[in-house]
A and B are shown apart, each in its own frame.
Chain A
Amino acid sequence: MKRIVIIITLINFLILHAFAQTRITGTVVDAAGLEMIGSSIIQKGTTNGVITDINGEFTINLLPNAEKVLVISSVGYVKQEVDVSSRTNINVILQEDQIALEEVVVVGYGTQKKVSITGSISNVSSKDLTDVPVTSVSNALTGRVSGLVTRQISGRPGGDAAQLFIRGQASFNTTAPLILVDGVERSFNQIDSEDIESISVLKDASATAVYGVRGANGVILVTTKRGDEGKSKISLSSEYGITHFTAIPQQLNAENTARLQREGSYNDGLDITTSGNTNNFPASEYDMYLYRTQLKPFTHPDNDLVDIFTKPGSRQRYNLNISGGNKVLKYFVGLGYLEQTGMYQTDVEELRKHPTFAKLISLSPEVDKALVNPDYNPEYLYRRITARTNLDININDDFSIGIDMSYRFGNQNRPAAYSIIDANSDGENMRLFAMFIRNPPQAFPLIHASGAMSSAHTRWRQNPLITLAYTGYRNDTDNDMELTAKFQYNLRKLLKGLSIDGKYAFDNSWGNFRGMGWRPFVYSYDEATNAYTQGLNGFLPKTESSKSSPISREYAELAVRYNNTFNSVHKISGVVLTNFRSSKARSGQYSYVPHVYQALIGRVNYEYDERYLIEFNMGYNGSNRFAEGHRYDFFPAVSAGWVPTNESFFPKNNILNFAKLRASAGQVGNDNIGGFSYYYRSSYENTNNTKYSFGVTHNPYINGLIEGTLPNELITWETATKYNVGFDSQWFKSRLSFNLDFFQELRSNILTNPGRFIVAAGTVGLPPSNLGIVENKGFETELGWSDKIGQFQYFAKGMFAFARNEIIERSEEAQPYDYLYRKGNPIGQFYGYQFMGFFQSVEEIAAAPQQFGLTNVVPGDMRYKDINGDGVIDQNDETPIGYSTVPEITFSGQFGFSYKNFDISLMLQGATNVTVNPTNEVGWDNRFGAFFEEHLNRWTPETASTATYPLLRKASLPNTNNYYTSTFWLKDGSYLRLKNLQFGYAIPKKALRKTPLNSIRLYANGFNLFTLTEVTYVDPEMDPNQSNGFYYPQQKVFNVGINVTF
């Protein structure tokens, strides 16, 4: 080939030289001054063209009979025409295509030019996703899409995906968006972000109507990379990071803790002299002296558990991508490996080095003997292998097929921590996190001088040494296999613009685990009697377990598409598509009954002269979770757009160069109404939990048969009626962009359990019915600026979104006061008491409204407001307080600049109008356990006027006076985060000239680096369902990496 090129070139040279033709040389660079390889240089109006070489240089001989103008272009850059009639050497700087008006966006069942979109769709490119060192792709979306609220509720390796809410929530059932990968409903969290080309987020009815019964919560479309025609591109990246907890509770030291515990017992009127009951936390000043000096660490320890049992975790990721192709075959191959370790210290060898353990070892040879690593690995570890092959084959000019294959293998390892069996149980997280908040530092030594495992009475499972290292392990493997075969047939011979395509996908997921649980005997020790009390029985290794829960899914679709332009101004396109989806999983009572969806979908677009746009969408869907006759429904949507800047009357100017107004209205459904239940069938369940028994042995209980939920044949999906108006604009030669969307949604038919029914009729509950109505409205806006000054490029981009919902109807239980109804408030609105300060005297308590019928309220306890004025504080005095756990306002700011080979970017992200409610040990002073800084400022008779925390009591239990949900405990969950910071450096291409390498980029970045928030011991994105903090904490990541292309 090369030889032929040389020969032709020589011939050309000879011939053209003879005709004295012109030879032009030049270089093409980008705005940063970097050489552009592979840019195309074509003489205008001819097919005469060359491509720039590795140095960005080219040489072209002009044809004599054509214009002496060169057209220089490269994908993603603005095309340039250069007149070379008077020059033989040119230097061209190509500008990145900022407007990207020609950008094509993936929409529901198709693609569309961004400029002609009339719905509300946001798009995230591949680069944005790979800039962030996260494991789950969902976390990379944070702050990138206006109107997408993310909440990362766990940092557990392999299980740290974020919850997603598109435009907040409009239903009290599931509000999770529908997620499709390459057009098929699939999970995207564990896809390697290097394999993703783009992500589209569809927000309004116009964009989602085609998803019919499943689109109401919004849709996220993930598109994976495919091969392009051209030279093979090989990209290799490798990165390594370390991880830390974003927030972890730091306990007070032993002496302070002991003092506060003693004070709590004293306040409860308990005996706190050392001769009294140990449960009363007696401690003498001599004990305090020992806590302070650590002279007797076996009886008076001071364990800094966070310091001892946490460590930085690590994260490493490797990815190899190869793509390329020719006219017949295009390919993309991606291979990825990820490994993440946890932040709990499970290695006994490492623990031995910690000063606390080192001291115990030096004091007792028995401890030295006892502290050995077990013969298994209990560490937190997640490993993921991903492989993907996307192939496109052109059979002939009209007919092409595609084969996509993806396989993911995930492997999670963790300490058993007393719960091997429950795969998704937070049980083990509970034990792990709880050790920081439930174990006072002086409660027990981590190990006794005799080498016996140690704990305190009533908290036998809490010793972190045992929990982490000596309870066994659990190892899970998960497999996801996804196969897609598709075809496309261009029917232009039948009718210009007509094509037909189809797709069949088969996915299968399965997994299994192996686990082993054991534990040593646990003892407490009494110094006075020198006696050990055995608390928790040990047992030998057992319960090795394994199981698999396969899920298989099928999907098929067939579409006819039409796309044509008449008279160069009337653009008409449309699609008619039918699909079928079936999913089989072992789940609950209806295991392996396939969940089936079927749909007929249609769309028509009409565009006149790039000025007027109109689009009709409709979905006709069915789902087999409803009764016959209630299975199918029709979901229409219409949208329209107007581009005034394309009007002839609109003056061409340098201020506003593009503007589009758009509006949409339509209906979408949501059938995700809590589990896949067949509410239209009545159910009867066997039970052995009657607690009643017959006969002499009275064991076991009798088996009964319970009348389950009553059937409701009329049950159907939720219906969302959505309106959206938007404005897109580009200003100052597209340096400034500004978009604004207002939306309003009325979600009706929300499935809810009727609260109004008569108990005397004996129905424990009526069947769920479509009774709920929620209104959700808000806006989102984006403002961006980007420009360059010479080789200095910079950009700034801000996003702000607001969504507020209001329950219009919810069929609530009847309430005596109107303000007790959840109706009229947002979903998840907190309810509680209004904190009025601390009681300062017995007289004040006597004069105040009686609180909850409690007779043990004392000065220093909290006082609440009597809302209904009946002289009693009870549940009738609860009012809406704070917000819900889903933020109403989310915002982000992205900033970046690049200069020559350097680039820096950062993202600040935040949320407000959100409330978190930490309870129990992470919210309150702990009954037996740890105390924190804020508890030092508790109420005492001496500090009565300045106290910020109530009187300490020994029993911090729910439903005691101070621990009702109140304005005192709710925390403002607003936060502002340095979500992402990145430094990059590209090795100058010149330095690579003699190597096969095309580029090398070095970078350092971070995630969740810094957080400003009022929430103290836990991350502000804490899981609201684990309000006691029992989950694996979120993490921050410091990461370095290298990317090499060939």
Chain B
Amino acid sequence: MHGLFSWSRKWWPGVILLVAFWAIAAWTNTVPLEADLAAKGSAALKDAVLDKTQVSVDGRDVTLAAEAFSQEGRKNALAAVEAVAGVRLVNDETRLVPEAKPFVWSAERDVTRVTLSGSAPLPASKAKLLDAGHAAVNGVEIVDQMGLARGAPPRFEDAAALLLTQVGKLKDGKVTISDISVSLSGMARDLGGREAIAAALKDLPEGFKVTANDVKAPPYVFQAYKDPVAVTLTLSGYVPDDKIHAAVAQAAAHKFFGEKLVDNLKSSVGAPSGFAPAVIPALGALARLSTGTLVVSDREVKLSGDALYEGAAAEIRAGLGKDFPNSFQYTPEISVKPASAPVDPTVCQQLFTDLLSKGRIRFEPSRTTLDPDSIALLDRLIEIALRCPTADIEVAGHTDGDGEDGFNQELSQKRAQVVVDYLVKAGLPASRFTAVGYGSTQPIASNDTDEGKAQNRRIEFLVR
């Protein structure tokens, strides 16, 4: 042992060479060692949920800079790097992602793009929301302006994904989550879109509540155009359902006569309440016009065109009757058709006969009240009467063969008088008209069939 001590005092010259080895080893190995530790450190953080991660190595000391989403995640990340073989120290430069209060996220859609902004709770949720956005608005550019923040409410991702699906139903607008409050604004893409969005919002995860849903529906438009040249009535736009569609088509068939019905209506939800009670009287007013357009847009009813004479124009301007719903706004733009050239009484008779062969003046069954659907026909008769101001006209009432003769005669007389009163009220001189009731004495068809009876129940205009 003593020998070993005495020999060891002579070992120092080798240390000079050893120091040289040390220097060369340090010179050549430092950078590779640092690179190796950096790679292993990064690999150890592969599964850690971090943002802005930076691993830098100085010798065997690793500096970890990152933003973590929880204290636990932060500790786990540090532990993972410390566990890497060869690491001497870990300098902790991690911090928690800032907490957003309130936690706000939004998606805004305009003509060209959808912009996602506000905060997302995790990088993975950001990616998930971008995917949901692409799926919702296929082909539209998605702009990601989302940051990361803590403080998201539970099931935030599900709520945001559901709202992104609704963005697909918007033409433009914005959806926002602020903590647990959800608000929406903008314009729905299609009719019924607003209702579809409102229905979908019922599936929001528990805890979220809709504080404002200001999504507007596109205008619900119904249009009717009376074309006197093509002799057509064209209906286009929307009706709420098949039942109302049938009711509108039936009303058009009753109120118009001679015009061919072109029905381009489609069914869609989203109609304002009181749609049918507003549209049907408006169609009646359109029927009285020589040419005209009816546009019902949401609760606005706009009727424009030419009335046949001044009295009719005034009546149409005055309103659409007591059944027209108050919630609708009626805007008439009615002018009067220029008076047609006067004609001989014989031509007048021809015009009356032609017109009454196309349509009949109707009354309520067994009563003397004019059917409102006949007003358009009466307007046309008045227009003809105005063209032959010198002719005296007999208004002749006829009934079918049913019932007693006395009753029929009286009924036909009264109905003829009602027509005369209507003409006088419209501004024609009472002296030109005589009301005569013929009862069932002058049938023009057999009273044995319903069809024949219907032909026999009639009002005729005879120029005397």
Chains A and B belong together in one complex: no
